[in-house]
Structure 1
């Protein structure tokens, strides 16, 4: 595959126009030369014909042969006359290859000239000289026109290609790190206007993508730093408890040893949950696959309610709403519900009322905790968020709500937080497809 030919556009345009102009001048010169030759030949023929007609008139008027021949001859035209008695008047016959135009005619009139042979010759050398002069004039004029056109084209092309130079300067400034510059064409209906508008649009998209990439990089860097910080705490606890357990003397109390063992288990489980949450977020970012099957939301809610009653006896759990069936991934929907109920129990500090309401396309989880201020209702879905509010931060690793929203959107729905009518917070999941619209048991989310 050959590369793009990058010869100077000014040179290409100038040379192309000059070549076209030269071809046109040559064609015009050939046409002028042909027309001039044809017209010259017509003029010579017209002169000879007129001279023959004059000779015929003079012969009928019984003009003496010598006078007739003298009156017929003119500048560039010579004649000869052979009388009926054989007398020859005028110039002698010229060779056939001479550059002359010959016209012969037989005269009629009185006896002394009746039947005489008139020969007229026109010298074409004058016409040839004029034709040669015309060719030199055309050549000199054509060369001068090409030189003038070349000089004018250099200036005209420089002016015409000034917008391209502006594009080039802007592109180089972008490459060197400059941002924000635009061509801003006055008219976008012309070819250069459309090109400049497309160039500005490309720069807008490029700078937007660059800003998005930098923001994403910053979020990723911050997320990695926060995740490392979160992992450091349980790992440090595991390490400290393990070292303390190893250093226990043989006669150490069994209760103390069991306490250290439980501490190791608890901190390792905490680290494991954090790693599992990070893996879930990575799957969401990569586009997780959902195993969609008909799911009874009421059955899911009752199962989760039983689990909350066991782990938080001080929380009253209520399940309301119809027995809706949706098309979704049972495991991920259970995870969403578990994250929402766990967050609610954490907010109520183990005491209060938790209501799970089933709707036609999802469910809501309402608690009687301190509630969530308006500005923070969207921030709580950020990863590893920490809120300085009465409700406190999320339960666990601070990734439960981002994961819940991610899986909700993977199902084609959405999850958000709003204020509950009697105080507290309400998390609403909507947009799940009814099970009756199932087309296949397994679908990949967009």
Structure 2
């Protein structure tokens, strides 16, 4: 039903655009089409003898289209995404990495279908869309198909580098789902027919649906300053205030110090989905949501590189859901939240209240064609023990006739933690080979 609605919306929009083409004359010539061709191969390797290794392979095409302007500022956009494992999935579900594209051999979905109005400092977009730069409600683009949202967005840009915005989100499509659903990552896989894999799945099947999210905030970028302030009402889950900022001191020497800080405050009463279903996070139920997190960054930009030392703390809160767990409906178990210390596999959203620090070094070679990243993170948590992750990321951007083609290999090794972090407390290696061609 949701797929048909998206297709109908796209067709109505195209008809409207067609009707306006005679008036403006540039709706198609000023439009554009772009996209990605992707090939991903993921492997999870467990040292635990009782846990089978999992793997998944998938190819995908993501096509984006947007018309030129008509009726002085209106345009219509849409995206279609399709992925296929080419029959390479194991016959045993336990041996498939379902976080890549789910357990099925193929997915096809309209991930965007929106109407946009942009004029001067004002922007409105309504319909299925990516929220690309949203830290807690982004498109989670570390897999084969991005997440997208059925939402209304209004943005004003009074000055260059400064924006004010408001968003009302109604439903979303996870990166393994075929359509939009009124749920989030705390719901079970296949909740209400949604094939949402790689999620937390804490809530019981009888839990009521999620009514969506209100968001408002502001971002500001000028010189070395990059700051944002956002407020989210993840309705019946958590009300979240988020502030983050960083400043790069330009010394003129090529060696520029960096300082950064972030703060998260959450609360919600007894009407939240966790309290009303007595759902436990990290083995702890609660009658309300309350969470506080702080973070810091000390860094140094060097010629062709950067080094950062990060810190985060999520305070323990007695009587709260998960003992003070950070509630993140659209990143939980995805490892895509904006906390400074989040690794490729997980962070404090997945590990629970506690402390973490992380060292990260990036370096570019051959005029930024080759990008190298190495990181080490340690987590000291109240409910899931201590664990640490070692991360290596190699990205190569090809040039010349193959411009647009990127080869990437992400590798992370995790040690420690309790069973559901690393089975039987053994080493866990995650390797992601990713090939992407943008056109």
TM-score between the two structures when normalised by the length of structure 2: 0.22
When you count helix as a share of all residues, which structure comes out higher? 1
Larger Rg belongs to: 1
